[in-house]
Chains A and B, each alone.
Chain A
């Protein structure tokens, strides 16, 4: 087992990693930017190293600074968290060259699956259903190919995520200009203008399967997470199990995810994302990292994914098989609480947290790095806390969500907590029958005219 882990991240996920390491008796090193001096992960870790100024590219994305900090402190492993360097195969390769274990998938596996179009090729070879689309990155005239797929189609950035570089094309005449616009946008956002095309599913759900694989050929797949409630392709609410997935479909999805992992010689944690519509699921991509919403699976399956990924990276075998992994022990929902202003187009709302009361009680877990008196820096993501609710069944979980959201009191910054309560209390959400356009279709976040009675 590792002696000392450096956590190359910030915020709640750094806190999460430090907690898991401490439970395993492993020392921790936090790295931080000048803007994060007051962050909780810095105070919690056994050691902390300042690696650069506020902007991420000069600190959290500075590979040499992170690796030098690992060398200076004698860390024998690096946990990348999510975002930043977590899916950078060049970085994980560099870790290996310096004799430091990277707690995540091996570079070859993340290269095979990390790029969306490359992942699709592996999926096709492993007999995993994919959304019909172009064979790879678009380099020539594809108008005939797209006509065969059938409009409407979606243009996506190969290196993308978070909805950037995505374009809907409904008619042949729009194809060329939209392709050019998408390539420009992708180039600006990711430094890579490669794009590809897929058939647009009009009313899908977003359902994903968490997997973990050890270095001894064992792979297990957990119950699905349903991340259908999104705003501009950003997940808002995640739950497990999905109200739309039957036991038979679940088994098929898990089997498909395991086939894909084996085909790519995958190791460590990963998430296989699918779209689900009209009883069929289609592979879209693999997230080769631990995801924000991993605690939902931890609650439902009764496992500790953070601990497991550390153990697997250290060469240990998975302690259980598929039968144990697919157990559903409760219903769980995660609410991402962001410091954003719902009344002002969700503009990030950094600032000082004047006072803070966190919810608690049965079935309520809060993962956060913030505290009363903490100033949220403007440089980074606006996620400030995750509420993970669990209960015996979905209706109870929803009631518990509302109770916990009501207990959460943050003064000084605006948050999305109220919006989560609106989602949970909405009859369509309660019914379980909705698609990824839930927010737009219900008009839930549209500004209301202020009526005074």
Chain B
């Protein structure tokens, strides 16, 4: 296979929203991997440096469980596994929002008491 046919495959990949194409015939072949496009887990952000922490449920956002102090502020360093906030659901139960990775809080999109939906970005972490 020559480069021009590979380009045709690569162009088609973009339109088909595919993340990876592997082709094998008689022991030879190629593998193409698209970057960014087609992977819903990757937000449309400058590559790599920022990670969004999103709500994993529907409810009302609070910074902390009752009686605990707010830790999450812009500029603060967060460790992987830290609780950055809580979601209070309609039943009154609250569940923690946990940072999947470490980073500095670069931007906060949310206020205490705000209604949130599934997948809503709450804050951005900047990794070092």
Contact = CB atoms under 8 A, between A and B. Distances in A.
Contacts of A50: 58, 117-120
A53 B90 contact: no
Given A49-B58, A72-B58, A72-B60, A64 B90 contact: yes
A59 B91 CA distance: 17
A173 B90 CA distance: 54
B119 A68 contact: no
B100 to A, nearest CB: 16
B118 A53 contact: yes
B115 interface: yes
Given A70-B90, A71-B90, A98-B90, A65 B58 contact: yes
Contacts of A65: 57-58, 89, 118
Given A68-B59, A72-B59, A51 B118 contact: yes
Interface residues on A, range: 10 to 19
Contacts of A51: 58, 117-118
A65 B57 CA distance: 7
A67 interface: yes
B91 to A, nearest CB: 6
A69 interface: yes
A357 interface: no
Contacts of B115: 72-73
Nearest to A375: B17
Interface residues on B, range: 10 to 19
A34 B40 CA distance: 10
Contacts of A34: 40, 118-119
Contacts of B120: 50
A80 interface: no
A301 B41 CA distance: 50
A114 interface: no
Nearest to A69: B58
A117 B59 CA distance: 38
A270 interface: no
Contacts of B91: 64, 67-68, 98
A393 to B, nearest CB: 49
Q: Could you say which of A72, A73, A98 has the most chain B C-beta atoms within 10 Å of its C-beta?
A: A72
A369 B89 CA distance: 30
Interface in A40-98: 49-53, 59, 64-65, 67-73, 98
A64 B119 contact: no
B63 to A, nearest CB: 18
Interface in B32-74: 40, 57-60
B118 A67 contact: no
A50 B58 CA distance: 8
A52 B118 contact: yes
Contact of B57 (A68, A71, A73, A98): A68
Interface string B79-107: 00000000001110100000000000000
A72 B89 CA distance: 9
Contacts of B90: 64, 67-68, 70-72, 98
A67 B60 CA distance: 12
Nearest to B88: A68
Contacts of A72: 58-60, 90, 115, 117
A64 B57 CA distance: 9
Contacts of A98: 90-91
Contacts of B60: 72
B102 to A, nearest CB: 25
A65 B120 CA distance: 14
B117 A49 contact: yes
Q: Could you say which of B91, B93, B118 has the most chain A C-beta atoms within 10 Å of its C-beta?
A: B118
A71 B115 CA distance: 9
Interface in A109-151: none
Interface of A: 34, 49-53, 59, 64-65, 67-73, 98
Given A72-B59, A72-B117, 11 more contacts: A34-B119, A49-B117, A50-B120, A51-B117, A52-B118, A64-B57, A65-B89, A67-B89, A67-B91, A68-B59, A68-B89
Q: Which 5 residue pairs are nearest across A and B when measured between Cβ atoms? A: A72-B115, A68-B90, A71-B90, A68-B58, A67-B90
12 contacts: A34-B40, A34-B118, A34-B119, A51-B118, A52-B58, A64-B89, A64-B91, A68-B90, A70-B90, A72-B58, A72-B90, A98-B91
Interface of B: 40, 57-60, 89-91, 93, 115, 117-120
